[in-house]
Amino acid sequence: MTLQGKGYFIWRIWACENGDVNAIANLAHQANFTHVLIKVADGAFSYNLVNNVDLVPPLIAALRQKGIKCWGWHYIYGNEPISEADKAIQRIGQLGLDGYALDVEGEYKQPGKDAAARTFMKRLRSAYPNFPIALCSYRYPTYHPQVPWKEFLEQCDYNMPQVYWEQAHNPADQLRRSVMEFQAMTPFRPIIPVGSAYRSGSWAASPTEVLDFLTTAQSLGLSAANFWEWSNTRKYLPEVWNIICNYPWAYTPPSADISQLLIQALNSRNLDAILALYLPDAVHVNAARTVQGLMALRAWYDNLLNQLLPNATFTHLAYSGQGSARWFTWRAVSPRGRVENGSDTLGLYQDKIAYHYTSFTILPP
């Protein structure tokens, strides 16, 4: 399910409402936050531990009582990717989180960190193949080409760019540019931006700017928006806090795209439901062969679902295009193998699939 609504990052629990988890949960509920992101790890170590007491579980329990989703976030460095991935795996399982955000910054601009990104993501995905994961990094990828964007985004479900307009006052322009740059990248992942709600030196985000950020996010059709950072906003910017809390975020998810309907049908393992999406003379193309017609399509999907990827779970990652053309990416996990690079093209006629090109590689489980 798409992450929706307003969310907030928490850095140090003890600095938020004097560490009173019930006060934090009550405020989050009053503000209609749908989710909160809590720092749970730094490098290869757990975070938000004080005197060997883990402050995270009580906060999660308090937030859950209010119906608020709890994501963890983890600052990773890439020097010990296996140890960092193992820590992520441990914290996700230990805390029962709803999702996980990876804070990737300057350390990952060093040479060779693309290999570290692949190692980290492969290990994390081996433990949690279908768990919601987000990349949280710079707002403009063109400014930071050294970051291994592809290695992370291929294995992530969301992109949470840090659209911090620090030392400036144009959040709407910066958000639009950030979205545009990521839309031009492959792979594309749904964007949930992180806005400025903090003070730094003589600069501070203003209530007007924060409102502009929120209205722009909604005008761009984004499903959610987050802010950095709880303790700073509460301590220094009460008017900004009030703007965020009182903002009536309303999100109406678009009707399912045909690429999403195809993935849903694959997960149902109902061949009739799959074939209902195609025209009778539809053409299906893959690297090995081209087939045409529903009978040939039925045989192809029967082989995919029962021989190549039995009992697989398919995940729709992202799509683009409109009208008669779609491009979409997907992932699948089966006891017999997994697909990380599913990439398909659909040609449509009268809302049915007339042409389907699929490309994927089945890897060992």
Amino acid letter, 362? I
Q: String of b and e for 30-45 (b: at least 16 CB within 10 Å)?
A: ebebbbbbbbbbbbbe
Residue 143 parent element (H or E) = none
Q: What is the pLDDT of residue 253?
A: 62
- CATH 3.10.450.50 is the classification of domain 258-363: yes
Compute the Cα dihedral for 81, 84, 86, 92 and give only its sign. Answer: negative
Q: How does pLDDT run across 17-41, given as a tens digit for each residue?
A: 999 999 999 999 999 999 999 999 9
Whole-number Cα distances in Å, 146 to 106, 118, 193: 9, 14, 21
Q: How confident is the model at residue 280 (pLDDT cuts 50, 70, 90)?
A: very high
Q: How does pLDDT run across 215-235, given as a tens digit for each residue?
A: 999 988 899 999 999 999 999
Amino acid letter, 140? Y
Average pLDDT over residues 340-357: 93
Residue 96 pLDDT greater than 90, yes or no: yes
Residue 83 pLDDT greater than 90, yes or no: yes
Mean pLDDT of the chain: 94
Enumerate the domain spans of the chain.
5-246, 258-363
258-363 shares the fold of 5-246:
no
Give the DSSP letter of residue 202: T
Contact criterion met (CB below 8 Å) for 247 and 209 = no
Average pLDDT over residues 164-191: 92
Q: What is the pLDDT of residue 254?
A: 63
Contact criterion met (CB below 8 Å) for 171 and 189 = no
Q: How confident is the model at residue 322 (pLDDT cuts 50, 70, 90)?
A: confident
Give the DSSP letter of residue 138: B
Average pLDDT over residues 329-344: 93
Q: How does pLDDT run across 288-304, given as a tens digit for each residue?
A: 899 999 999 999 999 99
Lowest mean pLDDT among 2-6, 137-141, 350-354: 2-6
Residue 1 pLDDT greater than 80, yes or no: no
Q: Which of 253, 360, 245 is nearest to 312 (CA)?
A: 360
CATH architecture of the domain 5-246 equals Alpha-Beta Barrel (3.20)
Residue 306 pLDDT greater than 70, yes or no: yes
Q: What is the pLDDT of residue 187?
A: 83
Residue 251 pLDDT greater than 80, yes or no: no
Residue 252 pLDDT greater than 70, yes or no: no
Give the DSSP letter of residue 187: S
Q: What is the pLDDT of residue 364?
A: 92
pTM (2 decimals)?
A: 0.75
